Chains A and B, each alone.
Chain A
Amino acid sequence: EVQLVESGGGLVQPGRSLKLSCVASGFTFSNYGMNWIRQAPGKGLEWVAYISSGSSYIYYAETVKGRFTISRDNAKNTLYLQMTSLRSEDTALYYCARHRAGYNYWGQGVMVTVSS
C-alpha cells in the first residue's frame, strides 16, 4: 500500500524557517518525481514545488521561489521542503504528492501556520 506521511509543521513567526518531511512507503520512491502542494484554510490547491526522481530537475512556484527549497533522500525514502522567510500567506496545509499524469497519491498533509 502506498503511503506518504508528512511531518514537521507547526506555528512559526513571520520571517522564520521550518522544514517539512514526507516519508514514502509501498512503492519504489527513487522511481518517481515528487511534489509539494498546499491548501490555505478554506481555499483551493496551489502547486508549490517539484523534484524529479534523481533530483536533476527542480521547479518552484513563483510565490515561493528563492525562499523554499525542495530536496529528497532516496536512501531514506524521504522528501523535504525547507521553508525560509515565511510569510502569513504561506499559512496552509502542505501535502506531498507523487507525480504521474496527475498526482495519484497524496499524504494526509501537515499544517503550517505563520503568525506572530
Chain B
Amino acid sequence: KAGVTQTPRYLIKTRGQQVTLSCSPISGHRSVSWYQQTPGQGLQFLFEYFSETQRNKGNFPGRFSGRQFSNSRSEMNVSTLELGDSALYLCASSPPPTGGAGGELFFGEGSRLTVL
C-alpha cells in the first residue's frame, strides 16, 4: 500500500513568489492535514480537509491556503512568500471513519521549501 506522497520534495523560491505543494493521501483516506515545521516554531498545524471541506484551520495568515479534490488529493498554496516561510511542509492523512479525531496520522516525507 502506497504511503502519503508529497511533491515536490525540494524547492527554492524567492520572496514575493507563490508556491503550490501537492499531497496524495493513502488510498481510502479522506482526511488530509498540513503541518509546517521550522527550527524556531517547531511543528505547527496549518489546516485539515475532509471530504473537500476545510474542517480545521491553524493560526496562519491568509497567504496560506489549501484545498482538497474529490479524489482526496490536497494542495496547499502560499502566496507572497516571505523568508520566514522557509520550512518543511508535512502532509498527513488519516483513515475513516472520522479521519483524525484522535486517530493515527500517516505522514509524508514533506516538501522542503527554501525562500531566498
The reply to whether chain A is a binding partner of chain B is: no
Interface set of A (CB-CB < 8 Å, partner B): none
